Amino acid sequence: MKKIFSRLLNHLITVLLYISGSITSLIVILIVFFLFSEGIGLFGKKPTEDGFIMAVNKSNTVNHLNAEQIKLLFDGEITNWSEFGGKNDSIILFRMDNITDYFTEEQIGENFENLPACISKVVDSIPGIVAFVGKHYIDKNFAGKELQVDKITVGDFMFGKLWFPTAHPVAVFGALPLLLGTFWVSIFAILFALPLGLATAIYIAEVAHPTVRNILKPVIELLAGIPSVVYGFFGLVVVVPFIQNAFNLPVGETAFAGSIILGIMALPTIITISEDAIRTTPRSMKEASLALGANHWQTIFRVILPYSSSGITAGAILGIGRAIGETMAVLMVTGNAAVIPHTLLAPVRTIPATIAAELGEASQGGLHYQSLFILGCVLFIITMIVNLAVEFISRRNRRVAS
């Protein structure tokens, strides 16, 4: 009777585990699917506002431009068509507001009835012109030609240098600054956190007196549980002013500040996992080293660290993983400038910070909204790679150990 009951219980538990396992996997897949389906519409769309077109002189040999080029054009950064592969004509911008520079109000007509003809005339008479006008002012007799706007491609998105998701007349979605921002902040966070974390792990595992260890370990594990806003606040109040003063900068909100805060946040992960790895070094291995006349430090560096290197690597990668995905603290201390950082002391913006800061203001279903979901996908892929790397390393570790 008892036997049957426990058998039944076993069965029930197996079934429950099976169900919860498959439901969890399904939900993860659904989330990923949702991210992609929300964002994928971005590609293949034109980044211009609906109802507007760009018109140029018939003689202009440039036929199409992408969003980044248009942005540079309207910002006056590029002033000659030759830079777009066209003729050597300087670029003259024309918007609807400019119409009165060329025509009197009588010529345009009381009810703007002559406007299409006026626009046509202007575009026809100035070779270097580019006119950004409403579609309904372009009629059949239009003397210029429409400048085509390139659709957004994956390449533009991943390697575009400009992130202006709300710019007029074209929005520019180049995620490179955000990718690089994430990359810089994370790399330097790990460069700063790994030596420090490893040293602490070695100290706790091998050097510290047991009483010190028993105090230190729970404290460090506690650090992992502090909400990231608190770290961000600490960064804002302590680290940012410090950096500003130390390097004599106009603002202290920099990639460097983000790296330091992320490094501190990654420390508990790195310390805990490395320390566990160091402790798995068999006693016999240490004794063998000591018995050969090696001192404690030689034993640590020549036997214990090599033996636990894959565990330490896993700790470091998980630390990076946390850094890459971290949002709030970074948002608070990095200055949030979506530009490609050339030094650590410049403001940057990371992918998660961008999503957090912009999702609220992006209208649902719009290009901006979709671009943020694509950013989410990119982030997902990066963290997935990081986790696979950990899995791979710890699997290799298991093989070596056995």
Partner 1 sequence: MYKIESKEVSLYYGDHLALKNISLQMKANTVTALIGPSGCGKSTYLRLLNRMNDLIENVKIEGTVLIDNKDIYARGIKIDDLRKKVGMVFQKPNPFPKTIFENVAYGLRVNGISNKSYIEERVIRSLQNSALWEEVKDKLNKSAFELSGGQQQRLCIARALAIEPSIILMDEPASALDPISTAKIEELIYELKDKYTIVIVTHNMQQAARVSDRTAFFYIGELIEYNDTKEIFTNPQNQRTQNYITGRFG
- Residues engaged in binding partner 1 (CB under 8 A): 210, 282, 284-285, 287-295, 298, 302-303, 306-307, 400
Q: Angle at Cα 173 formed by Cα 167 and Cα 176, nearest 5°?
A: 125
What is the H or E stretch that residue 34 is in? helix 2-39
Nearer to partner 1, 57 or 310 (CB): 310
Question: Nearest distance from residue 290's CB to partner 1, in Å?
Answer: 7
Question: Nearest distance from residue 313's CB to partner 1, in Å?
Answer: 15
Question: Nearest distance from residue 307's CB to partner 1, in Å?
Answer: 6
Nearer to partner 1, 284 or 364 (CB): 284
Q: Can you tell me the distance from the alpha carbon of 240 to that of 332, in angstroms, rounded to the nearest whole number?
A: 10
Question: Nearest distance from residue 291's CB to partner 1, in Å?
Answer: 4
Nearer to partner 1, 218 or 282 (CB): 282
Reduced to 3 states (helix: H, G, I; strand: E, B; else coil), residue 105 is helix
Nearer to partner 1, 76 or 210 (CB): 210
DSSP structure string for 265-299: HHHHHHHHHHHHHHHTS-HHHHHHHHHTT--HHHH
Backbone angles phi, psi at 112, to 5 degrees: 55, 25
Question: Nearest distance from residue 306's CB to partner 1, in Å?
Answer: 7
Nearer to partner 1, 283 or 342 (CB): 283
Q: Can you tell me the distance from the alpha carbon of 189 to that of 327, in angstroms, rounded to the nearest whole number?
A: 14
Nearer to partner 1, 28 or 292 (CB): 292
Q: Can you tell me the distance from the alpha carbon of 84 to that of 355, in angstroms, rounded to the nearest whole number?
A: 32
In sequence order, what are the residues at sequence separation of 6 or more whose Cβ sits closer than 8 angstroms to the Cβ of residue 160?
A: 67, 68, 172, 173, 174, 175, 176
Residue of 42, 142, 137, 62 lying closest to 95 (CA atoms): 137
Question: Nearest distance from residue 399's CB to partner 1, in Å?
Answer: 11
